Amino acid sequence: MTAALSLQDIQPGFADPVYDAQRIFRRLMDAMARPGRIVDIDADIVPPVPGLEGLSAIALTLLDFETPVYLPRGEIGEALSGWLRFHCGCPVTTDPQEAVFAILSVTELLPISAFNSGDPKYPDRSTTLLLACPALEGGKHVSLTGPGIKEAAHIAPSGIPDSFWNEVMGDRSQFQLGVDIIMGTSNAVIGLPRTTRINEES
């Protein structure tokens, strides 16, 4: 059951959908191919929720009628829901298992196991998590290894609870299944595909 959209309240999307989506996809692809690297996403949009510029631009780039999206509850979810339904035409779901994409904030996390981790024969059907962080530096230090990383990468996104890192490490132990994560702020992202192995630093 979805209420009719009030079009006056909908913020615009990309100024140039073709070139903007291409530019943002290339930066995102770079982030996923080189996990742990902080990639400037250069999102030139005004999203309905301030601070979510990076992840909102990624949502505009990737979402459409084929991709049910899970949104946080409350005001943020409400605002994003109308905006994404208008620009992307994507179904909004409250069932994390059904979500192809999920947009979450570190303040209202769900257990990672709530999301779809794919099928052994079709591991690509898992959820991609777009996780909004206050900053990509200044938090707990973790080191990363795996495909895309030459030796080891070190990141310290802020606001991530220890329990979440533990869940991610558990999720990574069941490769080829797993949830792929994109951490983002207003202007930058870090890709953490399921191949990236995470180690806590003391």
Interface positions with other proteins (CB under 8 A): 17-19, 21-23, 25-26, 28-29, 32-34, 61-64, 66-67, 100, 120-124, 128, 146-150, 175-176, 180, 193-195
The smaller minimum CB distance to other proteins, of residues 87 and 159, is found at: 87
DSSP, res 166: H
Q: Would you tell me how many other CB atoms lie within 10 Å of the CB of residue 113? A: 12
Give the residue with the Cβ less far from other proteins, 37 or 79. 37
Comparison of 36 and 77: residue with beta carbon closer to other proteins: 36
Shortest gap between Cβ of 157 and other proteins (angstroms)?
A: 19
Backbone angles phi, psi at 53, to 5 degrees: -55, -50
Angle at which helices 53-62 and 17-33 cross, to 10°: 110
Least separation in angstroms between CB 183 and other proteins: 14
| Distance between CA atoms of residues 112 and 90, nearest Å | 22
**In the complex, least distance from residue 134 CB atom to other proteins, rounded to whole angstroms:** 25
Closest CB 127 distance from other proteins, rounded Å: 11
Alpha carbons 131 and 180: distance in angstroms, whole number: 10
What kind and span of H or E run contains 31? helix 17-33
Q: Which is nearer to other proteins, 67 or 81 (CB)?
A: 67
CB 36 within 8 A of CB 144: yes
Q: What's the DSSP call for residue 18?
A: H
Q: Are strands 39-40 and 197-200 parallel, antiparallel or unpaired?
A: unpaired
What is the token pair recorded at 23?
């530019």
Nearer to other proteins, 138 or 154 (CB): 154
Nearest approach, Cβ of residue 8 and other proteins (Å): 26
User: Which token pair is 126?
Assistant: 């898992």
CB of 91 to other proteins, least distance (A): 15
Of 91 and 159, the one with the shorter C-beta distance to other proteins is: 91
